[in-house]
Amino acid sequence: MIIIQIVGLALLSAILIIVIKQVKPELAFLLSIAAGLVILILIMRQVEAVIELINQLARQARIDMIYFNTIIKIIGIAYIGEFGAELTRDSGEGALASKIELATKIIIMVIAIPIMLSLIETILRLIPA
């Protein structure tokens, strides 16, 4: 199972980071980034399978692919933003991490505008004049 590999990698990395941090803190941080990237790559294979399944279901349900693609972009931006913020927070830059989180929220809001407009138009069409 993939979770066993991820947890094993994370535990091994954590132990190495604790040991290395006492001697070379900058090297420990680089190891943390590398471990995070490897975990992200391992997870991406799983995410691809889920996205493909949802994509098939959306096509079968005849959902407009513009909405589907927008939602997938929003999810991706949220995960990437969280990953970047946590890496930044791990380096001791909490204020910068907060800026990444704010930027992520703003980008998501901008990308979601077409979906919100479509939803409002649909609601207005359902309300009798």
**Per residue of the chain (129 residues), what is the pLDDT tens digit?**
889 999 999 999 999 999 999 999 889 989 988 998 999 899 988 888 888 888 888 889 888 888 888 988 999 999 999 999 998 998 889 999 999 999 999 999 999 998 899 889 989 888 876
Half-sphere exposure of residue 58: CA atoms within 13 angstroms, side-chain side: 16
Q: Is there a contact between 28 and 21 (Cβ–Cβ < 8 Å)?
A: yes
Domain extent, residue 81, equals 65-129
The whole-number pLDDT of residue 20 equals 94
10, 28, 63: which is the final residue of a domain? 63
How do residues 60-89 score in pLDDT, each as one tens digit? 988 888 888 898 899 999 999 999 999 899
- Alpha-helical (H) ranges within 61-93 are 65-90
Q: Is there a contact between 104 and 77 (Cβ–Cβ < 8 Å)?
A: yes
- Shared domain for 50 and 85, answered yes or no, is no
22, 43, 63: which is the final residue of a domain? 63
Task: Specify the pTM.
Answer: 0.76
